[in-house]
Amino acid sequence: MTKGSGKYNTAALSITVIVAELLFWLTILGLYLALKAYVPGIAYQRPLWFWSLLALPTLAAIYLIGLQWKNGRLKKLGELELIPYLFPELSSTRSLLKFFLFRYAIACFLFGIIDPKIGNRLEEVTTQGIDLVIALDVSKSMLAEDIKPNRIERSKQAISQLLNRLNGDRICLIVFAGDAYVQLPITTDYEAARLFLGGVDTDVVPVQGTALGTAIELGIESFDPESTTSKSIVVITDGENHEDDAVRAAEKAAELGITVHAIGMGSTEGAPIPEYNRSGKRTGFKKDEGGNTVVSSLDEDMLRKVVSAGNGIFTRASSSYVGLNELVDELSGMEKKELGTFSFADYEHRFQWFLIAGILLLVIDTTIGSGKKKWSSSLSLFDA
């Protein structure tokens, strides 16, 4: 009987696995940065699956822990000097090779799921649309809950639904309270709009109040002055304007050929304004100087005057209805002009390469038996 090593050389194997793992991640990082810098047409079908690559170092840890466990089991089978004779064909080299084949096969399958794809040409896509500014009221009164879950969250849902129904139109997002700010400049990137919209709350504008006229004026300034397409401003607010002359701002917009629409958030009966501490826990309701609870109600009359001056339409929202159909019909009826933009088209999926490579590695792995030592002594670096 030939005498073997009788155990796995866990020290050498651990060092090799750790070094290989570090080299793998450095290579992946380098390739990612190089592709990002020099291949602008690359994209990933399922980018969130990049997180699944964290399973690879977990596999390495499980492998090394398994070797320690196997060595412990071997020691319990008999005297230490007899174990090499009982398992003469045990090979650390073969064990490491099979692990690497399996580990990199899994890596290939994960990259196949991520599915890198490359645009094979850059083409100009011409679309028709209008320029649209959405001005969202983020004053504290928008926290009132007469519309569920509250006015501002229902407004964000309405904007998200509106984005789903736009096609080729350029949009700009403005937030306002006591002052107004451009949250997203005019663009056709609806995903960016959703990203910015997700971060909107009543704390994004430091000055409280409802400067509706300022928001309309900022909307006018936010349009591309060289664009000849139709322009429209949609104001989403409870209408409690205390700061400026919103009707005059709407008249100014109409003089420039810009229509002003409004979605009224809230009820005419009104609701108290919740107050929260820093941890987000409700502490009560807003009170006036006399200690009375402040009730915020929809100022529908004022909003109707604004849209009348701006040649637009008014819709009143509820917990289940926002009036988007009327608004979308109105926007769809506006004259559209061609808007040119550039984008990568005809992406070619590359997942097949990774799946084929993964399958080949698994096939090779299965051809390396665990019971017969087929490798020469020159490969037995880890068997000492």
Residue 109 scores a pLDDT above 90: yes
Per-residue confidence (pLDDT) for residue 79, from 0 to 100: 53
Which CATH number covers residue 132? 3.40.50.410
171, 193 in Cβ contact below 8 A? Answer: yes
Same domain? 277 vs 200: yes
> What is the distance, to the nearest Å, from the Cα of residue 345 to the centroid of all Cα atoms in its chain?
22
Q: Write out pLDDT tens, residues 237-266.
A: 998 766 678 999 999 999 999 999 999 999
178, 205 in Cβ contact below 8 A? Answer: yes
Same domain? 360 vs 241: no
Domain membership of residue 36 (yes or no) is: yes
Residue that the structure tokens 């699956």 belong to: 49
Residue 167, helix vs strand vs coil: coil
Domain membership of residue 207 (yes or no) is: yes
Query: ∠ CA(363), CA(364), CA(367), 5° rounding?
Result: 90
Per-residue confidence (pLDDT) for residue 179, from 0 to 100: 92
Question: Where in the chain does DSSP place strands (E)?
Answer: 42-44, 116-129, 131-137, 170-176, 180-187, 231-237, 258-264, 271-272, 274-276, 282-285, 295-296, 314-316, 337-349
Per-residue confidence (pLDDT) for residue 371, from 0 to 100: 46
Q: Which helix (H) or strand (E) holds 133?
A: strand 131-137
Q: What DSSP designation does 311 have? A: T
Same domain? 230 vs 170: yes
Q: Write out pLDDT tens, residues 262-307.
A: 999 999 889 999 998 888 788 899 888 888 999 999 999 999 999 9
* Best CA proximity match to 304, nearest among 235, 230, 257, 209: 235
Q: Which helix (H) or strand (E) holds 67?
A: helix 55-75
* Best CA proximity match to 4, nearest among 90, 96, 67, 94: 90
Percent of the chain with pLDDT over 70: 83
Residue 107 scores a pLDDT above 70: yes
Helix, strand counts (H, E) of the chain = 11, 13
Question: pLDDT confidence of 379, banded at 50, 70, 90?
Answer: very low
Per-residue confidence (pLDDT) for residue 63, from 0 to 100: 87
Domain membership of residue 249 (yes or no) is: yes
Domain membership of residue 384 (yes or no) is: no
Other Cβ atoms less than 10 A from the Cβ of 336: the count is 17
Q: How far is CA 315 from CA 45, 147, 263, in A?
A: 39, 14, 5
Domain membership of residue 325 (yes or no) is: yes
Give the span between the Cα atoms of 184 and 170, in whole angstroms: 11
Per-residue confidence (pLDDT) for residue 13, from 0 to 100: 83
Number of domains composing the chain: 2
Residue 142, helix vs strand vs coil: helix
Q: Write out pLDDT tens, residues 320-338.
A: 777 788 898 899 888 787 6
* Best CA proximity match to 179, nearest among 134, 223, 209: 209
Which of the residue ranges 36-40, 172-176, 309-313 would you say has the lowest mean pLDDT?
36-40
Same domain? 73 vs 205: no
Those residues with Cβ within 8 angstroms of residue 13's Cβ, 6 or more apart along the chain or in another chain: 64, 67, 92, 95, 96, 382
Per-residue confidence (pLDDT) for residue 12, from 0 to 100: 82
Peptide bond into 272 cis (omega under 30): no
Domain membership of residue 99 (yes or no) is: yes
> What is the distance, to the nearest Å, from the Cα of residue 305 to the centroid of all Cα atoms in its chain?
39
Same domain? 280 vs 362: no
Residue that the structure tokens 């645009």 belong to: 119
Residue 93 scores a pLDDT above 70: yes
Per-residue confidence (pLDDT) for residue 90, from 0 to 100: 59
Same domain? 52 vs 201: no
Q: What DSSP designation does 39 have? A: -
Same domain? 98 vs 210: no
Classify the C-alpha dihedral 276-278-281-283 as positive or negative.
negative
Give the span between the Cα atoms of 121 and 115, in whole angstroms: 18
Domain that holds residue 285: 125-341
Q: 7 or 61: which carries more pLDDT confidence? A: 61
134, 144 in Cβ contact below 8 A? Answer: no
Q: 344 or 286: which carries more pLDDT confidence? A: 286
Give the span between the Cα atoms of 339 and 195, in whole angstroms: 23
Question: pLDDT confidence of 380, banded at 50, 70, 90?
Answer: very low
Residue 135, strand partner residues:
174, 235
Q: How far is CA 163 from CA 78, 153, 189, 217, 262, in A?
A: 72, 15, 10, 23, 16
